[in-house]
């Protein structure tokens, strides 16, 4: 069995790449010499990202405009990608989390939309790209989730629920994938992203304080004493995508500056 040469034939598909951790993940994976395809709803942001990917060492680049809420269209577009560019060997499942709010205020529609956007979109993408991974005897499925998988976060009721479902889906999948194809989860802690800014603003409005006060409160919870960077999260994704992670399967890695209390 000849192992896949990532720098010659490897293809990574990064969802939610227009900003935040997805954006940084695409740039980090470019350093492996892959063909990198970035996917999001915002074409302008994706087009701006392409030259940066090339400067970071990507063998070639491309982008797809798609919405994870429209999964039939998503699968059609990724299917076309596989047919033209070639099989996907590294899949990064990443998308914006559900809106904040107490669990008891959540509607059924909010749960169903979040489950579809996260779990069902990832499930359908895996089913689509798995044949190419099997043929190459190499596959890396990496899910960007949250530390709420282990310790639920206040005021993120729907998100906590769906993140846990995503982790359970991945752990179940890890037992079924063939040798050489792995699935693992990144659990980011407080990381400087647009979403974190939005969460700070929402909590601040609800409590009648400033967003800066919310951020200061968060810092007291982090032994490292600062928020994480998207690049720090992306470095772990790059490792999980590489051959060096070949004996890791079904694990959830928290990158949180020590905030979590559990082992």
Residue 51 in domain: yes
CB 63 within 8 A of CB 12: no
First vs last Cα of the chain: how many Å apart? 38
Residue 248 in domain: yes
Residue 218 in domain: no
- Name the pTM for this structure: 0.95
Residue 261 in domain: no
Picking from 233, 220, 231, the residue whose alpha carbon sits closest to that of residue 259 is 220
Q: How far apart are CA 20 and CA 55, in angstroms?
A: 19
Q: What is the largest CA-CA distance in the chain?
A: 61
Residue 210 in domain: no
Q: How far is CA 140 from CA 6, 16, 75, 119, 239, in A?
A: 12, 17, 19, 17, 10
Annotate 27-45 with b (16+ C-beta within 10 A) or e (fewer). Answer: bbbbebbbbbbbbbbeeee
Q: How far apart are CA 229 and CA 212, in angstroms?
A: 18
Q: Collapsing DSSP states into helix, strand and coil, what is residue 98?
A: coil
Q: Which residue has the tokens 């040469």?
A: 5
CATH number at residue 162: 3.40.50.720
Residue 260 in domain: no
Q: Which domain holds residue 168?
A: 6-192+228-255
Residue 55 in domain: yes
Domain count, the chain: 1
The tens place of each residue's pLDDT in the chain, 263 residues long, gives: 566 889 889 999 999 999 999 999 999 999 999 999 999 999 999 999 999 999 999 999 999 999 999 999 999 999 999 999 999 999 999 998 898 889 999 999 999 999 999 999 999 999 999 999 999 999 999 999 999 999 998 889 999 999 999 999 999 999 999 999 999 999 999 999 988 898 889 888 989 999 999 999 999 999 999 999 999 999 999 999 999 999 999 999 999 999 999 88
Determine the pLDDT at residue 3: 67
Residue 112 in domain: yes
Determine the pLDDT at residue 234: 98
Annotate 68-107 with b (16+ C-beta within 10 A) or e (fewer). Answer: beebeebbeebeebbeeeebbbbbbbbbbbbebbeeeebe
Determine the pLDDT at residue 1: 58
Q: How far apart are CA 196 and CA 198, in angstroms?
A: 5
């Amino acid at each position: 069995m000849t192992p896949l040469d990532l720098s010659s034939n490897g293809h990574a598909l990064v969802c939610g790449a227009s900003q935040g951790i997805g954006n940084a993940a695409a740039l980090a994976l470019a350093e492996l010499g892959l063909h990198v395809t970035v996917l999001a709803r915002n074409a302008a942001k994706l087009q701006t990202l392409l030259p940066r990917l090339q400067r970071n060492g990507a063998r070639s680049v491309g982008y797809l405009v798609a919405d994870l809420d429209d999964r039939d269209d998503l699968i059609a577009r990724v299917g076309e990608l596989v047919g033209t560019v070639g099989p996907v060997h590294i899949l990064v499942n990443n998308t914006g989390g559900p809106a904040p709010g107490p669990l008891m205020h959540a509607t059924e529609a909010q749960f169903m939309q979040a489950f579809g956007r996260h779990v069902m979109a990832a499930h359908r993408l895996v089913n689509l790209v798995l044949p190419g991974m099997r043929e190459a005897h190499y596959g890396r499925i990496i899910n960007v989730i949250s530390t709420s998988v282990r310790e639920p976060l206040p005021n993120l009721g729907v998100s906590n629920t769906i993140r846990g479902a995503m982790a359970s889906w991945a752990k179940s999948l890890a037992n079924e994938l063939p040798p050489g194809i792995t699935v693992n989860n990144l659990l980011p802690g407080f990381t400087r992203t647009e979403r974190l800014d939005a969460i700070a603003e929402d909590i601040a409005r609800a409590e009648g304080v400033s967003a800066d006060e919310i951020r200061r409160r968060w810092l007291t919870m982090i032994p490292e004493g600062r928020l994480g960077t998207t690049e720090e999260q992306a470095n772990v994704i790059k490792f999980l995508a590489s051959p060096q992670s070949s004996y890791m399967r079904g694990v959830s890695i928290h990158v949180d500056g020590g905030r979590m209390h559990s082992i």
